[in-house]
Structure 1
Amino acid sequence: MRLLNTSTLRLESFFDPYVPRYAILSHTWEDEEVLFEDIRDAREPLPVHKKGFTKVQGSCRQARQDGFGYIWIDSCCIDKSSSAELSEAINSMFQWYHKSRRRYAYLVDINAPAGERSVSFRQSRWFTRGWTLQELIAPRDVRFYDHNWSFLGIRQTSGDNPGTLEDMADEISNATTIPVNLLRWYRSSPWHSDSDSDDSAVLDASHPPAPPTEEEVTSQLTKALRVFSVAQKMSWAAKRRTTRLEDEAYCLLGLFDVNMPMLYGEGDRAFFRLQQEILKVSDDQSILAFDHRSGYGGRGFPEEGITLLADSPKYFVDSQFERPPLYPPSWPGEPSIETELLLSSRFLEIGLCLCPLMSDDGLDAEYLGILRCVYRDDFMSHPAIPLQAVDRNKMIFQRIRGRDLRKISPLDLDSQHEINGKPIR
Structure 2
Amino acid sequence: MRLINAITLQFEEFYGDRIPKYAILSHTWDEEEVTFQDWKDLKAASRKRGYHSAELSEAINSMFAWYRDAIVCYAFLSDVPYVDRSSPSPPPEFYQSRWFTRGWTLQELLAPVQVVFYSSDWSTIGERSSLASHISTVTGVDVVYLKGSPALASASISKKMSWLSRRTTTRVEDIAYCMLGIFDINMPLLYGEGSKAFLRLQEEIIKVSNDHTIFSWDWTPSVPKNWVSLFAPTPDAFRFSADYIKTQETTSVSTYSMTNAGLSIQLPIIRSWSHYFLVLNVEYSDGNPFQRACVPVAGISNLSSTGASKILQRSSFPPRVIMLYRDWSAGVEDIYVQSKIDETSLGLVPLHVPYTKAVLLTIGQINGLFDKQNKCRFWSSFNG
3-state DSSP of counterpart to 1:342: strand
Q: How far apart are 1:398 and its partner, in Å?
A: 2.0
Q: How far apart are 1:379 and its partner, in Å?
A: 4.1
In structure 1, distance between residues paired with 2:100 and 2:173: 19
Confirm whether residue 178 of structure 1 aligns to residue 93 of structure 2: no
**Which residue of the partner structure matches residue 161 of structure 1?**
none
Aligned 1:21-100 pairs, distance under 5 A: 21-41=21-41, 44=42, 80-100=50-70
**Which residue of the partner structure matches residue 282 of structure 2?**
373
In structure 1, distance between residues paired with 2:265 and 2:297: 13
**Which residue of the partner structure matches residue 332 of structure 1?**
none
In structure 1, distance between residues paired with 2:259 and 2:82: 54
More displaced, 18-27 or 347-356?
347-356
Is contact 1:232-1:320 (8 Å) kept? yes
Aligned 1:365-404 pairs, distance under 5 A: 366-380=275-289, 381-391=291-301, 393-401=308-316, 403-404=318-319
3-state DSSP of counterpart to 2:181: helix
Is contact 1:107-1:126 (8 Å) kept? yes
Confirm whether residue 253 of structure 1 aligns to residue 180 of structure 2: yes
**Which residue of the partner structure matches residue 73 of structure 1?**
none
Which protein has greater RCO, CA pairs closer than 8 Å, 6+ apart? 2
In structure 2, distance between residues paired with 1:370 and 1:290: 14
Is contact 1:368-1:384 (8 Å) kept? yes
1:126 to 83, 99, 103: 99
- Give 2:281's aligned amino acid: R
- Distance change in 2, residues 1:38/1:298 (3 Å): farther
Is contact 1:384-1:405 (8 Å) kept? no
- Give 2:320's aligned amino acid: L
Q: How far apart are 1:247 and its partner, in Å?
A: 0.4
In structure 1, distance between residues paired with 2:189 and 2:324: 42
Q: How far apart are 1:120 and its partner, in Å?
A: 2.8
Confirm whether residue 20 of structure 1 aligns to residue 20 of structure 2: yes
Q: CA-to-partner distance for each residue in 1:280-333, whole Å, 9 max, x for gaps?
A: 000111101111222734997xxxxx42211111110121433223335xxxxx
In structure 2, distance between residues paired with 1:151 and 1:129: 21
Confirm whether residue 236 of structure 1 aligns to residue 178 of structure 2: no
**Which residue of the partner structure matches residue 124 of structure 2?**
151
**Which residue of the partner structure matches residue 2 of structure 2?**
2
Q: How far apart are 1:45 and its partner, in Å?
A: 7.2
In structure 1, distance between residues paired with 2:169 and 2:324: 37
In structure 1, distance between residues paired with 2:222 and 2:84: 50
TM-score w.r.t. structure 2 length?
Answer: 0.77
Is contact 1:24-1:102 (8 Å) kept? yes
Is contact 1:26-1:105 (8 Å) kept? yes
**Which residue of the partner structure matches residue 245 of structure 2?**
323
In structure 1, distance between residues paired with 2:44 and 2:181: 33
Q: How far apart are 1:377 and its partner, in Å?
A: 2.7
1:103 to 73, 77, 89: 73
- Give 2:185's aligned amino acid: V
Is contact 1:337-1:351 (8 Å) kept? no
3-state DSSP of counterpart to 1:140: coil
Is contact 2:24-2:70 (8 Å) kept? yes
In structure 2, distance between residues paired with 1:412 and 1:83: 52
Q: CA-to-partner distance for each residue in 1:361-412, whole Å, 9 max, x for gaps?
A: xxxxx31111111112314333211112232732332222465234224499
In structure 1, distance between residues paired with 2:178 and 2:83: 33
Unpaired runs of 5+ residues, structure 2, are 303-307, 329-357, 367-384
More displaced, 134-143 or 13-22?
13-22
- Give 1:372's aligned amino acid: N
- Give 1:181's aligned amino acid: V
More displaced, 101-110 or 9-18?
9-18
Is contact 1:325-1:373 (8 Å) kept? yes
In structure 2, distance between residues paired with 1:310 and 1:411: 23
- Give 2:29's aligned amino acid: W
In structure 2, distance between residues paired with 1:402 and 1:81: 45
3-state DSSP of counterpart to 2:176: helix
Report % sequence identity.
40
In structure 1, distance between residues paired with 2:114 and 2:225: 37
Is contact 1:104-1:145 (8 Å) kept? yes
Is contact 1:298-1:307 (8 Å) kept? no
**Which residue of the partner structure matches residue 265 of structure 1?**
192
Q: How far apart are 1:259 and its partner, in Å?
A: 0.4
TM-score w.r.t. structure 1 length?
Answer: 0.70
In structure 2, distance between residues paired with 1:13 and 1:411: 55
Confirm whether residue 139 of structure 1 aligns to residue 112 of structure 2: yes
- Give 1:87's aligned amino acid: S
- Give 2:243's aligned amino acid: F
- Distance change in 2, residues 1:235/1:345 (3 Å): same
- Give 2:65's aligned amino acid: Q
In structure 2, distance between residues paired with 1:16 and 1:327: 41
**Which residue of the partner structure matches residue 344 of structure 2?**
none
- Distance change in 2, residues 1:355/1:337 (3 Å): farther
More displaced, 270-279 or 27-36?
27-36
Q: CA-to-partner distance for each residue in 1:112-156, whole Å, 9 max, x for gaps?
A: 345554233222111111100000000001000000000010012
In structure 1, distance between residues paired with 2:99 and 2:222: 31
- Give 1:283's aligned amino acid: N
Confirm whether residue 357 of structure 1 aligns to residue 254 of structure 2: no
3-state DSSP of counterpart to 1:245: coil
